[in-house]
Amino acid sequence: MASEEELFASIDALLDEEPQLPPPAERARLREAAGITQARLAQALKLKSTQSIKNWENGRSEPTGARLAAYQRLLEGWAKKYPPQSQPIPTGQWASQQKQVALAGTAKPMTPERTATPAEPTEGQQRPAGPVEAPAAPAAPAAPARPARPAAAAAGRPATSSRRPAAKRAAAPAVDPRFPHGPLAVLDADGSAYGVDGIVLDCPATTVVELVEWTLREAGLGAPKLHRNGKDSDPLIVLTAAAAAKFGLPERLEDRRGLRLEEDHPVVKQIIKAKWQLTQRGFGPWARIYRKAQGAQRQCVQLAILPWDALDERSWPGVTDMEPADIARVLGIYAQRVATPRGSTAVSGLELMTALRPPTRPVRDEETGNWVSGPNPGSLGTEAMDPAPPEGQPEHPAVFHSGWDGGFLHEEAYNWVRPVELLSDEECTLPYAIGLDLNTAFLAAAARLVVGLSAPDHFHAPKFNPKIPGSWLVDLSHVEIDPRLPSPFTPSGEHPTGPAWYQTHTVAYAQELGYNVEILEAYLRRETGAYLDPWHDRLKTAYVDTLADMGVTKDLTDPEFLGAMARHKDVDPALTAVLAAIKGTIKGGIGKLFENPQGKNHKPGDPWPGMQRPTWRPDIRAAVISKARVNMHRKLANMVKLTGLYPLAVLSDCVVYPSPGASPLDFLPYAASGKPQPGGFRLGPTPGLAKLEGVQSMMWAVDVMEKGHNPASLIKGGNAELDEGE
């Protein structure tokens, strides 16, 4: 039998083996509470990429050596500043709790505590600032709930879909005890509510009102906020066509313009009679049903109606036709990596910006000592901002009523085709035309992009400063560009003919090319910041991780990368849909920054809903597009230096080159060592790197160009035959 000394020595050895760091979930919470992105933390710790931070925060690996000490010191400092809102769950209990959740709701989840808001806003508008609690005040524990209806398994159904199992599941993050069943559920007509990770709940609701009340009281659905000063995501219920019919909803909306049910529809009357409310968008494909907050509990449910095209085929290919369990898997992966959908991918992209940069934060009133809402540094605030005259459009009230006639900023993506007469005989005899597409070019341009946060100020003849975001009136017609390349200053690629308004990045590129720039006028912003950085970081990680799940990883050689990209859409239809939705979120989110008036009845000078959002910022959209177009031109110019090749055409983020072979490997620049030459186009899965868009014959490309069309828009197609009707 072991002696007391031996036992004590054994126990001491165990104590020495205790981890020096908090659990992985707590590490992530502390970083997010401090408002620091994974990329910024990796930079501070002198790491080559964010992957190490991700591994530390999901428990796959641990830091060592000097980085362990530095990371521990940082976490201890954050822990003092940002104590947990409630009693932390010990590591062992946390694992046990996750296991219980995975076995699916045999008991009703506790009613989540939600943040109060004065009233629900119109979709796309910022919630009004309201009373807030002190950030360090612990949340009141949820009251015990009565036993719930059994989950599907207790009702004679298996705990996962019995129709067609989900092929593959994304790695599940740590479960928030307030939302044990994830962010959303897909409801079928038989009352089965399919959630993430194979969970199926039994929903007894027979009306929309009962569905809303069940969701808030029993479903245990929702998602934690993405920023310490933000708000939790409301639960999302997705209705299949059969479920929609069960609740008395029509197969399709008669109002094809407004996309909403009539106000006298029985379902709308039922909602109003039960003292629930709808946003100004009404009951449409993405309906929000809410009541004003009572106490600390927020009451709001998001519905997505599949037969009303809530999931657009372009952004969610094939998802509407999937089985409910698979729809839940697709939307669950998107919710985990991006956010719970709030509408179209464009709306979700815009909402994600606000979720990651909330406009307000709790501040202490010096006179009363109470906590009140105050502006959050680095955000866009709570009020819409009038644009500088050249940054708006003629219809905008501030522009229309001012009588402005000084011209407008025209920063758009490329649509350029080289004149056929500028093709050389040598180029025309090459056998192939190859299209290269830059991965999420707008997202790459958003990285570390400094934009204006305050209102614009007007200046006459200022000295150009490339670090100040704004719009500059300058004549760039003296800048000489090889006619076989597009001009970097215009979307059409045509040479400018006189003074025009340009965003900072466009003017800075003229200076980079060695030309003097003399500014005539400028509208500049004094308060600046990298507003889009958290948005960029989250979407970049989502994009790269999803591609990696499809077999396209960063460690592949260029030939392996081309092979993986040729197969990646065949790996998993669910991941293919998630990837398309992420792309739609990026492109649509940037587009929403300059949403135009909708509807034929709009009159110039009248306001429209889009321009009344704090996130209606055409200057930020112009900055992203200007930087993306300049990045493209820089690569085009470097390709001439490295290879002597000139492009045939450019369309947004796609460029077409003549090639001696049928692969990009036949014309891209490589060093003698086999490594890609810096400065030109490079293959790879990360934003800003290139992938193969399509291959056609050079004869085909010349024919398309002679007919006045852009081959970049057609090179991806199967037969790529030109439709004369387009």
Write out pLDDT tens, residues 582-602.
999 999 999 999 999 887 788
pLDDT at 256 over 80: no
Which residue stretches of 470-532 are H helix? 504-512
Section 675-690 average pLDDT = 95
Interval 678-698 mean pLDDT = 96
pLDDT at 459 over 90: yes
- Shared domain check, 272 and 153: yes
Q: 333 and 254 in one domain?
A: yes
Q: What is the pLDDT of residue 9?
A: 62
Instruction: Write down the H helix ranges in 87-218.
Output: 91-102, 208-217
Binned at pLDDT 50, 70 and 90, residue 90 comes out as: very low
Task: Give the model's pLDDT for residue 21.
Answer: 85
- Position 159 scores a pLDDT of 35
Q: What is the mean pLDDT of the chain?
A: 85
| Contact yes or no for 182/195 (Cβ under 8 A) | yes
- Of all residues in the chain, the percent with pLDDT exceeding 90 is 67
Burial category of 582 from C-beta neighbours within 10 Å (exposed 0-12, middle 13-18, buried 19 and up): buried
Do residue 195 and residue 273 come from a single domain?
Answer: yes
112 or 436, higher pLDDT: 436
164 and 230 in a common domain: yes
pLDDT in tens, 351-365: 999 999 999 998 888
DSSP label of 528: E
> Are 647 and 636 contacting, i.e. CB atoms less than 8 angstroms apart?
yes
What pLDDT is attached to residue 37?
85
Q: Do 160 and 303 belong to one domain?
A: yes
Whether 207 is in a domain gets the answer yes
Q: What pLDDT does residue 177 have?
A: 86
Q: What was the pLDDT predicted at 49?
A: 65
Segment among 8-22, 331-345, 519-533 with least mean pLDDT = 8-22
pLDDT of amino acid 364: 87
Among 26-35, 612-621, 716-725, which is the least confidently predicted range? Answer: 716-725
Strands 236-239 and 277-278: unpaired
Question: How many structural domains is the chain composed of?
Answer: 2
Give the C-alpha separation, 400 to 576, whole Å: 44
**Based on the domain organization, do 187 and 56 belong to the same domain?**
no
Going by pLDDT thresholds of 50, 70 and 90, the confidence category of residue 13 is low
d(CA 271, CA 267): 6
Average pLDDT over residues 293-304: 82
Domain edge (last residue) among 340, 368, 384:
340
Q: How far is CA 568 from CA 548, 563, 577, 615, 711, in A?
A: 9, 9, 12, 35, 24
The domain boundary, picked from 298, 320, 340, lies at: 340
> Is the pLDDT reported for residue 87 higher than 70?
no
pLDDT band at 140; cut points 50, 70, 90: very low
- Top pLDDT among 175 and 507 is at 507
Residue 188 is assigned to a structural domain of this protein: yes
Query: For 362-406, what is each residue's pLDDT tens digit?
Result: 888 888 888 888 999 999 989 999 999 999 999 999 999 999 999
Residue 68 has pLDDT above 80, yes or no: yes
With a cut of 80, say whether residue 110 has pLDDT above it: no
Confidence of residue 7 (pLDDT cuts 50, 70, 90): low
Residue at which a domain ends, from 320, 340, 360:
340
Task: Please check the confidence at residue 495 and state whether its pLDDT lies above 90.
Answer: yes
Same domain, 75 and 119: no
* Res 250: pLDDT: 93
Q: Is residue 208 part of a domain?
A: yes
> Considering the domain boundaries, does residue 513 fall inside one?
no
Q: For position 160, what pLDDT does the model report?
A: 34
Residues 301 and 209 reside in one and the same domain? yes
Same domain assignment for residues 165 and 243: yes
Please tell me what DSSP assigns to residue 233. Answer: B
| Amino acid letter for position 90 | P
**45/161 same-domain check:** no
Q: Helix or strand or coil: residue 523?
A: strand
Q: What is the residue range of 15's domain? A: 4-81
pLDDT at residue 170 in the model:
43
Mean pLDDT of 613-628: 97
Poorest-pLDDT segment among 82-91, 283-292, 392-401, 659-668: 82-91
Is pLDDT of 510 > 60? yes
Select the more confidently predicted residue: 650 or 154: 650
pLDDT over 70 (residue 76):
yes
Closest CA to 249 of 223, 267, 229: 267
CA distances 223 to 189, 339, 474, 681, Å, are 25, 9, 48, 39
Looking at residue 148, its pLDDT comes to 36
Q: Is the pLDDT of residue 476 over 90?
A: yes
pLDDT at 721: 44
pLDDT at 42: 84
What pLDDT score does 3 carry? 66
What is the enclosing helix (H) or strand (E) of 29? helix 24-33
181 plus 265 within the same structural domain? yes
Residue 677 lies in a domain: no
Q: Taking 90 as the threshold, does the pLDDT of residue 323 lie above it?
A: yes
Residue range 255-278: mean pLDDT, rounded: 90
Average pLDDT over residues 618-643: 97
CB-count exposure of residue 630 (10 Å: 0-12, 13-18, 19+)? buried
Q: What is the pLDDT of residue 70?
A: 87
Query: Averaged over 470-486, what is the pLDDT?
Result: 96
Q: For position 31, which CATH number holds?
A: 1.10.260
In a domain, 316, yes or no: yes
What average pLDDT score do residues 199-223 get?
94
Residues 59 and 184 in one domain: no
What's the average model confidence in pLDDT over 293-312?
A: 87
Token pair for 91: 């590591």
pLDDT above 70 covers a percentage of the chain that reads: 83
The band of 48, judged by pLDDT with boundaries at 50, 70 and 90, is low
Instruction: Flag whether 304 is in a domain.
Output: yes
pLDDT of amino acid 280 = 87
Please check the confidence at residue 54 and state whether its pLDDT lies above 90. Answer: no
Query: Does residue 118 belong to any structural domain of this protein?
Result: yes
